[in-house]
Amino acid sequence: MNKNVIVIGGGPAGLEASAQLQNMGYNVILVERTHELGGHLAKWDRLFPDGVPAKSVLDSLLANIGGVKYFLGTEVQSVNLLEKSYNVILSNGITILANAVLIASGFDLFPAEKKEEYGYGIYDHVITNADLESFFASRKDKQAVPDPRIPLQPQKIGFVHCVGSRDEKIGNRHCSKVCCATAVKQACEIKEEFPQADVYCFYMDLRMFGRNYEDLYLKAQKDYGIRFIRGRVSEVAEDIDKKLVVKAEDTLSGKPVKVTLDLLVLMAGMKNSGAGQQVGSMISLETAEDGFFSCRDSVYSLQKSNKNGIFFAGACTGPKTLPDTLHEARAAALTVHNYMKNFE
Ligand code: SF4
Say what the pLDDT of residue 1 is.
59
Stated pTM of the model? 0.96
For the residues 144-156, what does the mean pLDDT come to?
A: 94
Query: Rounded distance, CA 103 to CA 317, Å?
Result: 10
Ligand 1 centre distance from Cα of residue 53 (Å): 22
Query: Rounded distance, CA 274 to CA 105, Å?
Result: 9
Q: Is the CB of 162 under 6 A from ligand 1?
A: yes
CB 202 within 8 A of CB 161: yes
Q: Ligand 1 atom 4: the closest Cα is on which residue? A: 179
Higher confidence at residue 84 or residue 29?
A: 29
Ligand 1 atom nearest the C-alpha of 180 is 2
pLDDT in tens, 203-246: 999 999 999 999 999 999 999 999 999 998 999 999 999 999 99
- pLDDT surpasses 90 at 343: no
Q: Is the CB of 285 under 6 A from ligand 1?
A: no
Say what the pLDDT of residue 244 is.
98
Percentage above 70 pLDDT, the chain: 100
Q: Are residues 283 and 262 in the same domain?
A: no
Q: Are residues 225 and 119 in the same domain?
A: yes
Q: Is the CB of 105 under 6 A from ligand 1?
A: no
Q: Are residues 84 and 169 in the same domain?
A: no
Would you place residue 6 in the very low, low, confident or very high pLDDT band (cuts 50, 70, 90)?
A: very high
Average pLDDT, rounded, for the chain = 96
pLDDT in tens, 37-70: 999 999 999 999 999 999 999 999 999 999 899 9
Q: Are residues 339 and 295 in the same domain?
A: yes
- Which residue type, as a one-letter code, is found at position 313? A
Q: Are residues 336 and 222 in the same domain?
A: no
Whole-Å CA distances, 233 to 105, 199, 230, 266: 32, 15, 10, 11
Among the three residues 268, 297, 319, which one is the final residue of a domain in this structure?
268
Q: Is the CB of 165 under 6 A from ligand 1?
A: yes
Q: Is the CB of 109 under 6 A from ligand 1?
A: no
CATH number at residue 224: 3.50.50.60
Residue ranges making up the domain that contains 158: 112-268
Q: Are residues 182 and 252 in the same domain?
A: yes
Query: Rounded distance, CA 21 to CA 17, Å?
Result: 6
